[in-house]
Amino acid sequence: DGGITQSPKYLFRKEGQNVTLSCEQNLNHDAMYWYRQDPGQGLRLIYYSQIVNDFQKGDIAEGYSVSREKKESFPLTVTSAQKNPTAFYLCASKVIAVTGELFFGEGSRLTVL
Amino acid sequence: EDKVVQSPLSLVVHEGDTVTLNCSYEVTNFRSLLWYKQEKKAPTFLFMLTSSGIEKKSGRLSSILDKKELSSILNITATQTGDSAIYLCAGYNAGNMLTFGGGTRLMVKP
């Protein structure tokens, strides 16, 4: 079955540590996105990528980094520079240049201790 | 900067009630609006609306877009406890970028 796989589902981190969240898709989508969701709130865009080896900052990119070395993979690193990293992180993908459905992974919940 | 606002922020109803969720948008060169339901993890797609005045319907859920008023509504009739979720709307601009609203949290009590 085609879809988006995020891992880990739950992650605990000590302050000052970098962590990397994995996102893999087998939908053959060119565009991939990372969103952050805080409790009871909507989705805010962190980074997006429309092609391999290229990505752009979203609205809240500070303290995060990404890479896009393969079409299928778009990992997100939450760095120690992110002041309030505890949140739910969602990865998504879609067909490029189409204003259509955005497909989501199951999410990764990061808690900083 | 594009902006999408949803109201109410939260809503508590009883099974069998009908609810209307609102979404207003200020999106540069607006293209389309999407509705999602999020229960626990991944949002699931409900509707995409591009034309004003044309209702999209799926079972007890329906949605309509009003381009003149820059808004959309999502109606749920005969609500069930399984409808409890966060409902998200999002608008696409001409650059193919999607802006999400803050969501409406719906709780349906038995």
What are the φ and ψ backbone dihedral angles of A5, each rounded to 5 degrees? -115, 125
Average pLDDT, chain A: 93
Let me know: does B102 contact A42? Beta carbons within 8 Å. yes
Chain A, 13 to 42: residues with Cβ < 8 Å from chain B are 35, 40-42
A22-45: pLDDT as tens digits: 999 999 999 999 999 998 788 999
Percentage above 90 pLDDT, chain B: 87
Q: Point out the residue among A41, A98, A102 whose CB comes nearest to the CB of B103.
A: A41
Cβ neighbours for B106, distance < 8 A, ≥ 6 positions apart: B10, B11, B13, B19, B21, B76, B79, B83, B84, B85, B86, B87
Residue predicted with more confidence, A40 or B100: B100
Within 10 angstroms of residue B60's Cβ, the number of other Cβ atoms is 13
Cα separation, B86 vs A50, in Å, equals 28
Per-residue confidence (pLDDT) for residue B16, from 0 to 100: 98
> What is the mean predicted confidence (pLDDT) over B72-96?
95
Mutate to test the interface with A, among B97, B106, B107 (most CBs of A within 10 A): B97
**Vertex B105: Cα angle to B103 and B106 (nearest 5):** 135
Contacts of B49 in chain A (CB under 8 A): none
A81-109: pLDDT as tens digits: 888 999 999 999 998 877 789 999 999 99
DSSP B72: E
Contact B42 A107 (CB under 8 A): yes
Helix (H, G, I), strand (E, B) or coil at B82: helix
A98 touching chain B per CB within 8 A: yes
Contact A43 B100 (CB under 8 A): yes
A52-77: pLDDT as tens digits: 999 999 999 999 999 999 999 999 99
String of DSSP letters for chain A: ---EEEE-SEEEE-TT--EEEEEEE-S--SEEEEEEE-TT--EEEEEEEEETTEEEE-TT-TTEEE--SBTTB--EEE-TT-S---EEEEEEEE-TT---PPEE---EEEEE-
